[in-house]
A and B are shown apart, each in its own frame.
Chain A
Amino acid sequence: MSGKPKLHYFNGRGRMETIRWLLAAAGVEFEECFLETKDDLIKLQKDGSLMFQQLPMVEIDGMKMVQTRAILNYVAAKYNLYGKDLKERALIDMYVEALMDLNELLMSYPFQPADKKEQHFANMVDKATNRYFPVFEKVLKDHRQDFLVGNQFSRADVHLLEILLMAEEDKPGILAKFPLLQSFKARISNIPTIKKFLQPGSQRKSPVLEEDVPKVLKIFY
């Protein structure tokens, strides 16, 4: 056994991408096992490897962890990216949970049926620019620190950067009214571990291509 965490998912972003980001930001090397077909998923289910028959699954420290948030919480705490006390943790959790809500909108967009796509996109952009981004812009403005919580790099910063970049992929210029988020983006992108993850050839995954949508739907549904 290599000792490195091993990620089981399909070769795409989905619910595993936030985990890849966090491990990479923490400077943790990891291996990946890609599922290609529904049969691959069925095999894992039959093996008893998936506690609730679902992915993501991450083998780490002798555990077969499932449930995205459980995995993220474990990795964040293990690598000291979860604040210094309960109150910082509370703040991080509030920010991260909101970002996960926005992530759900971004993540599900490619899979919307054609007649719902436009409305979904509008809702997504509206929530990003009116509900979520203003909060983080204000947090940064109020404390003028480099990081969201406790003047220290945490999972909240990693997650926010991930979301900012994904939102920009869908709507370039979406950060136009958020100067502090723009400088945050530049600053956090330059952190060595993250800079490395943002380079071609890293384990960061690309957005799902339109032609691959049916294949993904078939594996999971």
Chain B
Amino acid sequence: MSGKPRLTYLNGRGRMEPVRWLLAAAGVEFEEIFLETREQYEKLIKDGVLMFQQVPLVEIDGMKMVQTRAILSYIAGKYNLYGKDLKERALIDMYVEGIADLMQMILMFPFSPPEAKEKNLDSIKERATNRYFPVFEKVLKQHGQDFLVGNKFSWADVQLIEAILAVEEKIPAVLSGFPQLQAFKVRMSNMPTIKKFLQPGSPRKPPPDERYIETVMKIFK
């Protein structure tokens, strides 16, 4: 056994991508197993490896962890990306949960029927620019610090940079009214571990394409 965390998921972003981001940001190397067929997935279930018969699965520190948030909280706690006390943790949790709601819209987008796609894209744009980005723009403006919480790099920063890049892929000019977020994006992108993750050949996965969508439909029916 290598000692490195081992991720089991499809070969695409989905619900595992925030885990890849957080491990990468923490400078933790990991291995990946990609589910390609329904049979592979059913075997995992039959073997009793998936606590609630679902992926993501992350094998880490002797545990077979499931449930994305449980996995992310564990990694954040272990690698000191979860604030210094309960109140910083509360702030990080609020920010991360808000961003997760926005990311959920992006996650579901490829699976919406063609006639709903334009409306859903508008919803993503509306929510990003009116509900979520203004909050973080204001937070950064008010304290003038490099990071969202406690003047220290945390899970919240990783989640936000991931979300900014994901929304920009769909709506390129989305940051045009948000100078603080633009600077934040540059700053985070230049952090050594994140810079490495953003380079070609890293474990970062590309946006979902037709093939990925087909695989999802096939495996999860």
A residues sitting closer than 8 Å to B (CB atoms) are 51-53, 61, 63, 65-70, 73-74, 77-78, 86-87, 89-90, 93-94, 96-98, 101, 131-132, 135
Known A-B contacts A52-B101, A89-B77, A97-B70; the reply to A73 vs B89 at CB < 8 A is yes
Q: How far is the CB of B161 from chain A (nearest CB, A)?
A: 19
B86 within 8 A of partner (CB): yes
Size class of B's contact patch? 20 to 34
CB of B70 within 8 A of CB of A73, answer no
A60 to B74, CA, bound (A): 25
* Cross-chain contact of A73 among B78, B90, B135 (Cβ < 8 A): B90
A-B contact pairs, 19 of them (CB 8 A): A51-B135, A63-B87, A67-B97, A70-B90, A70-B93, A74-B86, A74-B90, A77-B89, A86-B74, A86-B78, A90-B70, A93-B67, A93-B69, A93-B70, A97-B69, A98-B51, A101-B52, A131-B53, A135-B51
B117 within 8 A of partner (CB): no
Neighbouring A residues of B47 by C-beta, 8 Å: none
A66 to B77, CA, bound (A): 21
B181 within 8 A of partner (CB): no
B65 within 8 A of partner (CB): yes
CB of A86 within 8 A of CB of B77, answer yes
CB of B51 within 8 A of CB of A94, answer yes
CB of A73 within 8 A of CB of B98, answer no
Neighbouring B residues of A131 by C-beta, 8 Å: 52-53
Neighbouring A residues of B52 by C-beta, 8 Å: 98, 101, 131-132, 135
B residues sitting closer than 8 Å to A (CB atoms) are 51-53, 61, 63, 65-70, 73-74, 77-78, 86-87, 89-90, 93-94, 96-98, 101, 131-132, 135
Q: How far is the CB of B5 from chain A (nearest CB, A)?
A: 13
4 residue pairs, one from A and one from B, having the closest CB atoms? A93-B70, A70-B93, A97-B67, A67-B97
Neighbouring A residues of B87 by C-beta, 8 Å: 61, 63
* Cross-chain contact of B97 among A69, A77, A78 (Cβ < 8 A): A69
Q: How far is the CB of B90 from chain A (nearest CB, A)?
A: 5
A70 to B131, CA, bound (A): 18
A78 to B93, CA, bound (A): 14
Closest to B86 in A: A77
A135 to B45, CA, bound (A): 13
Closest to A127 in B: B52
Q: How far is the CB of A155 from chain B (nearest CB, A)?
A: 13
Neighbouring A residues of B73 by C-beta, 8 Å: 89-90, 93
A93 to B72, CA, bound (A): 10
Q: How far is the CB of B2 from chain A (nearest CB, A)?
A: 20
Known A-B contacts A78-B86, A131-B52; the reply to A94 vs B65 at CB < 8 A is yes
A77 to B88, CA, bound (A): 13
Closest to A86 in B: B77
CB of A87 within 8 A of CB of B89, answer no
